[in-house]
Amino acid sequence: MLEIEGLTVTYGDVVAIDNLDLTIEPGEIVSLLGPSGSGKSTLLRAVAGLEKPTAGILRWNGGDLAAIPVHRRGFGLMFQDYALFPHRTVAANVAFGLEMMHKSRAEIGERVDTVLSLVGLQGYGDRAIGHLSGGQQQRVALARAIAPAPRLLMFDEPLGSLDRSLRDRLVVELHDILDRVGATSIYVTHDQQEAFALADRVVLLHDGRIEQVGSPEELWSHPRSPFAARFLGFRNLVPTGNARAMGWPTPSPVTDHVVYRADGFSPDDDGPFVVTTRSRTYRGDHHLLVVTAADGTELDVVVRGEPAPEPGRQLRLRLDPSAVVPVGE
């Protein structure tokens, strides 16, 4: 297992990682999630040994990593510009790390076949890299990273250059593959959907510190701060005092802020939300309304099925209790 204790990494005056503690268990898939500049890559690079900590300790299975150079840590890395060797075949690309380990030809051949079938590229060994699609190249890069059976696999925005639908598909495959390999993995992304689809545990970073850590379900059901709620894509973030003054449902446990999930509303003549529709956007399977309350609070409201209210109309809404999300400590 990996233990990070009091880790600080600075670049001149910039504190990229600020006294951070984190433990990653064997076989766990952890996602480092956060906006650009929050320190995700720096943390990953420090674990890899590519960045020297200003302070703090990194341990693997209890042993200090400080004196162990990058290539002896037994960690695998996969970046967005995964830089396959364009003039080598698929098999030769995947064999690279194994050759560096001076494995026998027979061993290499067998392992290359195994990992190629694991990533769904059985029979592709003799193909040229240039003849593969972007998604296939991604799989070759993944096969190359897992071939040497690293103790820890690290990914830095590996799907960043691909379009949304391909990313969505590959992330599901990747989750499956990592589960089967059983490798401990750290996955850097700024994309909340990707982190949630992939990770057992999400570490949300903000200015070099951990804002929140938990399973995707834990983060989703109880963001610990307004920053976390906004970063997870929640709208309708309201100070609980304002909500109480309006007679709206308050969160349990009671927290400083509350989110009213846009998809939990429905029209109801006795509902506690008295609002005026400001705008209405057709979204295929629903309408998105932007409404305002008497105190000026703006809310997004999803309306399905029935004729959506015209802008300018007043209406009353109720909210499914499960759509009241506590935000804060």
Q: How many Å separate Cα 99 from the centre of its chain?
A: 33
- Phi, psi (deg, nearest 5) at residue 281: -125, 130
Nearer to ligand ADP, 77 or 129 (CB): 77
Q: Does 41 bind ligand ADP (CB under 6 A)?
A: yes
Nearer to ligand ADP, 40 or 261 (CB): 40
CB 96 within 8 A of CB 85: yes
Phi-psi region of 78 (alpha: psi -120 to 50; beta: other; left: phi over 0): beta
Nearer to ligand ADP, 45 or 201 (CB): 45
CB 263 within 8 A of CB 323: yes
Q: Identify the helix (H) or strand (E) that includes residue 66.
A: none
- Phi, psi (deg, nearest 5) at residue 39: 110, 10
Q: Does 31 bind ligand ADP (CB under 6 A)?
A: no
Q: Does 16 bind ligand ADP (CB under 6 A)?
A: yes
Residue 290's DSSP bridge partners are 279, 300
CA atoms within 13 A on the CB side of 243: 21
| Window 81 to 110, contacts with ligand ADP (CB under 6 A) | none
Q: Does 37 bind ligand ADP (CB under 6 A)?
A: yes
Residue 5 Cβ vs ligand ADP, minimum distance, rounded to whole Å:
19
Q: Does 39 bind ligand ADP (CB under 6 A)?
A: yes
Q: Does 160 bind ligand ADP (CB under 6 A)?
A: no
Number of H helices, E strands in the chain: 9, 18
Nearer to ligand ADP, 41 or 277 (CB): 41
CB 309 within 8 A of CB 277: yes
**Residue 322 gets which letter from DSSP?**
G
Q: Does 36 bind ligand ADP (CB under 6 A)?
A: yes
Nearer to ligand ADP, 16 or 325 (CB): 16
| Window 225 to 284, contacts with ligand ADP (CB under 6 A) | none
Q: Does 185 bind ligand ADP (CB under 6 A)?
A: no
14, 57, 101, 294: residue in contact with ligand ADP (rule CB under 6 A) = 14
Q: Which residues bind ligand ADP (CB under 6 A)?
A: 11, 14, 16, 34, 36-42
